Amino acid sequence: MIRAHITHAQASSSNPRPERIMAENVLLRLEGITKTFGGIVALEGVDFEVRAGEVHALIGENGAGKSTLMKIATGVHHADRGRLLWKGQVVRLHTPRDAHRLGIRMVPQELTLVPQLSAGENIFLGCLPHRRGLFSWVRWKEAHERARALLRELGHDLDPTRPVSELSVAEQQLVEIARALAFEAELLIFDEPTSPLSEHETERLFQVIARLKARGIGVIYITHRIREIYRIADRVTVLRDGRHVLTRPIVETTPEELVRAMVGRELREHFPARGPRVIGEPLLRVERLSAPGRFYDVTFSVHGGEIVGLAGLVGAGRTELVEAIFGAREYTSGTIRIAGRPVVIRTPADAVRHGLALVTDDRKTKGLILTASVHTNIILPVHTRIAHLGLFLNARAERQLTERLIRELRVKTPSADHPVMLLSGGNQQKVILARWLATTPRIFLLDEPTRGIDVGAKAEIYEWIRRLADQGAAILLVSSELEELQRLADRILVMHRGRIVGELSREEATDDRILYLATGGGA
C-alpha cells in the first residue's frame, strides 16, 4: 500500500478546498514549510512550486536552506509545519520511496549507481524485465534494448552494456536521468549537476534538460553558477537564511539583483580588480614531466606574482599533473625546478618543505580531516613544514596563528574548536586555504578551488587569490569555469589528452578559442 497519503478535497461548491484552486500545470507546491534542527531554524515559512515542462532554478548561499527544502520534497526530511501538494492534492511523504511513487526523483551530486553493473542494469535496477514461471530469469536483451531507447530519447548513443565504472561522470549522470525516466519520473531535481563537468559536457547536459522540458517533465535546478540559470531556467527562486526572498521569471531579473538577494547586501565586483603587480622570476618550472597514461612531456613556468590558468576537459590530465607536482602522484620522467633549482618531490611533505601548497577540489577526501577541529586542520601542515628542522610551535602561538587566519579569511565558525565537517562548503574551502597560508608557501596549486561553493564565498576566495599574487606568490589555477580563468589568470595553458596544446594571453582567451584547443583543435 502506498504510504504517500493523498488527502482528496471534498466536493463542495460553496467552500472549495484551496488545494483545488491552482494552475493545472503545477506539479509540486510547498506551502509555508518550516523546519528546525535542534533549535536551529533551517527553513521558516517557505513557499515554492514547480510546473510541468518548466526549469525552476533554486539558488542561495550555502546554509540558505536549499538542500533541506529539497529533502522535504523528496521524503528524506519531514516539515515541522507547512504542507506539500502534488498536482493539487495534499500529500504526506514518509520516505523517499513515497516521492518516487509520485514521480519525484533526485539526480544527486554524489551519484548512486553501482559501478560493477552495466549502464542498462543500473537503469532498471529493481525492475529488470524478467520471464515469470517456475524458474524466473532476467530478459537481458530486452533490458539493454529498452535502456538504449531511453538513452537515445535523451540524445545519446551510450552503449548500455558498458560497466558504469568505465563511464565518465557526465555519462553516469545520463544513466541517472535515464533511470528516473524508466521509473516514469515527472519531476527531476538536479543538485549542482555541472560541478564535475567540463564546458562541453555542461552544454550536452543542457540539451538533455531541454528534451526533458519538451516532454513536459518539471525540473528543479540547484546551482551556485548564476550564469547557467540564464541559459536554461524559466523561473528562479532565491532563499536566504532559511527564508524565501524572491520568485520571478528569469527574464525579469539581472545577475546583480540575484546576487544581492542571495547575500543580503551589495557585493563588490565578483572578480576583484587586478592591483599593481610585478611579475618576477620563475618560481615554479616543470620540464618535460611525464606519467604515461596521465600526462606527457609537460613543460611550463609560473613566475612570482603571476596567475597561470590551466584549462581542459574532464580527463585531460590537469588534476593528475598538479598532484604529481605536489608529490601526491608518481611521475616517471622530467624535472621540477623551484626558484631555478632542481628539486626532488616524491611526497606531499617534500612539496610543503619546498614551499608548495595544494588547494584541492575534493575537500572531503583529500583536503580536510572532517572529524577534526578547525584549529587542528589549520595547524597540521605547519608541523610538517618545520618538523624536519627540529622546531615546534607552542600551544599559545598555534592558537594565535589559527585565530588570526580565521579572522583574515572570515571563516564562519562558532570557534576554532568546532568540527570542520559542520561548516558550509565555502567555509571548509577557506579552512584549506588558511592551513596553507599558515605554512607561508611561495607557490600555490589551486585545483578547482571554488567548486560547489556559493557566490559570496567565491568572491572572497577570488580576492585572496589576487592578493596572494599581488604579494609575489606564483599561482597555478585549474578551473572548469572559463570565466574564472579569463578574469583571474594572466595567461592560460590548455591541456588535451595529457598534453599542453596551447597557451593564450588574457586577450586571446575567448570561450571559442579555449574550447577549440581543449577539444583537440590545436593538437
The total of other beta-carbon atoms located within 10 Å of residue 122's CB is 25
Spell out the SS3 assignment of 391-451: CCCCHHHHHHHHHHHHHHCCCCCCCCCCEHHHCCHHHHHHHHHHHHHCCCCCEEEEECCCC
Helix (H) or strand (E) holding 375: helix 374-387
Q: Which CATH class is domain 282-369+443-518?
A: alpha beta
Closest CA to 350 of 368, 321, 328: 328
Tell me the C-alpha to C-alpha distance, in Å, between residue 266 and each of 241, 260, 298.
16, 5, 43
Tell me the C-alpha to C-alpha distance, in Å, between residue 142 and each of 120, 158, 231.
10, 16, 37
In 8-131 the beta strands, taken as DSSP E runs, fall at 26-37, 40-51, 55-59, 81-86, 89-92, 104-107, 130-131
What was the pLDDT predicted at 330? Answer: 93
Please name the amino acid found at residue 149: A
Q: Which CATH class is domain 5-103+186-263?
A: alpha beta
- Number of helices followed by number of strands (H, E) in the chain: 16, 23
The answer to whether the CB of 358 falls within 8 A of the CB of 323 is yes
Tell me the C-alpha to C-alpha distance, in Å, between residue 252 and each of 231, 234, 235.
14, 10, 9
Cα torsion through 14, 16, 17, 22, rounded to 10: -160
Fold agreement between 5-103+186-263 and 282-369+443-518: yes
Cα–Cα dist 105/122, whole Å: 15
What are 480's three cell numbers? Answer: 572548469
Average pLDDT of the chain, as a whole number: 84
What are 358's three cell numbers? Answer: 595544494
Using DSSP's 3-state secondary structure scheme, residue 364 falls into helix
More confident residue, 169 or 240: 240
Query: What is the bridge-based pairing of β-strands 40-51 and 130-131?
Result: unpaired
The answer to whether the CB of 154 falls within 8 A of the CB of 182 is no
Cα–Cα dist 344/261, whole Å: 50
Q: How does residue 146 score in pLDDT terms, banded at 50, 70 and 90?
A: confident
Give the length of the chain: 523
What are 446's three cell numbers? Answer: 589551486
Tell me the pTM: 0.65
Q: How does residue 4 score in pLDDT terms, banded at 50, 70 and 90?
A: very low
Non-local CB neighbours of 276 within 8 Å, separated by 6+ positions: 470
More confident residue, 186 or 183: 186
Cα–Cα dist 443/96, whole Å: 46
- Domain-by-domain residue ranges, the chain? 5-103+186-263, 113-184, 282-369+443-518
More confident residue, 332 or 1: 332
Using DSSP's 3-state secondary structure scheme, residue 124 falls into coil
The answer to whether the CB of 323 falls within 8 A of the CB of 348 is no
Using DSSP's 3-state secondary structure scheme, residue 246 falls into strand
Cα–Cα dist 51/209, whole Å: 14
Is the pLDDT at 128 greater than 50? The verdict is yes
Mean pLDDT of 70-90: 95
pLDDT tens-place string over residues 365-402: 556 788 889 998 888 777 655 545 555 567 788 888 88
Query: Cα dihedral sign for 117, 118, 123, 125?
Result: negative
More confident residue, 115 or 491: 491
Query: Cα dihedral sign for 204, 210, 215, 218?
Result: positive
| Listed range (77-86, 358-367, 472-481) with the worst mean pLDDT | 358-367
| Listed range (8-22, 66-80, 131-145) with the worst mean pLDDT | 8-22
Q: In 308-373, which ranges are continuous DSSP H helix?
A: 318-325, 348-353
Is the pLDDT at 87 greater than 60? The verdict is yes
pLDDT tens-place string over residues 484-512: 999 899 999 999 989 999 999 989 999 88
| Listed range (35-39, 145-149, 404-408) with the worst mean pLDDT | 35-39
Q: Edge-to-edge, what's the strand order for the sheet holding 333-338? A: 295-303, 282-291, 333-338, 341-343
What was the pLDDT predicted at 334? Answer: 97
- Burial classification of residue 166, based on how many CB atoms lie within 10 Å of its CB (0-12 exposed, 13-18 middle, 19 or more buried): exposed
Is the pLDDT at 274 greater than 70? The verdict is no
Cα–Cα dist 164/123, whole Å: 11
pLDDT tens-place string over residues 14-38: 343 334 434 569 999 999 999 998 7
What was the pLDDT predicted at 18? Answer: 38
Cα–Cα dist 52/91, whole Å: 18
Query: Cα dihedral sign for 193, 198, 204, 210?
Result: positive
User: Locate cell 551510450: which residue?
Assistant: 158
Contacts 24+ apart (CB under 8 A), 251-256: 255/226, 255/227, 255/230
